[in-house]
Amino acid sequence: MLPAAASAWAPADEASIHPGVQVFTDGAQCTSNFVFQDGADVYLGQAAHCSGTGAATDTDGCSAESLPIGTAIEVTGASKAGTLAYSSWNTMAAKGETDPDACAYNDFSLIRLDPADVGKVNPSVPGFGGPVSLGAPGGLGSTVYSWGNSSLRQGIRQLSPKQGIVLQNEGWERDYEVPEPTESSFSEPG
């Protein structure tokens, strides 16, 4: 049964599936982004390059190869694999996209979670105070937050959050050049 409202999601402190969990596609690992629901299914977002078949440096979504829709994706905290349900890279390839900004900056895909795992999901991002709405694009000097999760960090949560300042907008002004912070300024919620 799918949650009909935010109160039906798993409690945030008990949810094993949430924004920021690791996902594994054909040996590659990535960090999930947000939780999405279309009324019939629940999805985790991830970058489309996470299901790319080339090198880690293959970031042009119009020329890089990608795994097909339906590919199994292991989701940390889930009892069953999810499936690749949408990939901007696959869609751009099918439509013959050639716009350089679209090719470079359209990097999004969705993982459909197995219905058996929906009760383990909470879409909130408590450490960042939301989400409660979509933010407006930030201008130069605005604060940007990110969360990265990798086995290379050996489970040390303090290494996952990052905060930076926008130095330059690129592409569709949806891609930001942010200096790598020297230390995290986040604290654990709660």
Question: What's 16-48 look like in SS3?
Answer: CECCCCEEEECCEEEECCCEEECCCCEEEEECH
Angle (CA) 85-86-88 rounded to 5° is: 165
**Structural domains in the chain, sorted by start:** 17-120 (2.40.10.10), 126-177 (no CATH)
Average pLDDT for the chain:
78
Strand-strand pairing, 42-46 and 109-112: antiparallel
Per-residue pLDDT band for 146 (boundaries 50, 70, 90) equals low
Segment 3-35, tens digit of pLDDT: 554 558 999 889 999 888 999 998 888 889 889
Segment 81-94, tens digit of pLDDT: 999 999 999 999 99
Query: Is the pTM of the predicted complex or chain greater than 0.85?
Result: no
Segment 28-49, tens digit of pLDDT: 888 898 899 988 799 999 999 9
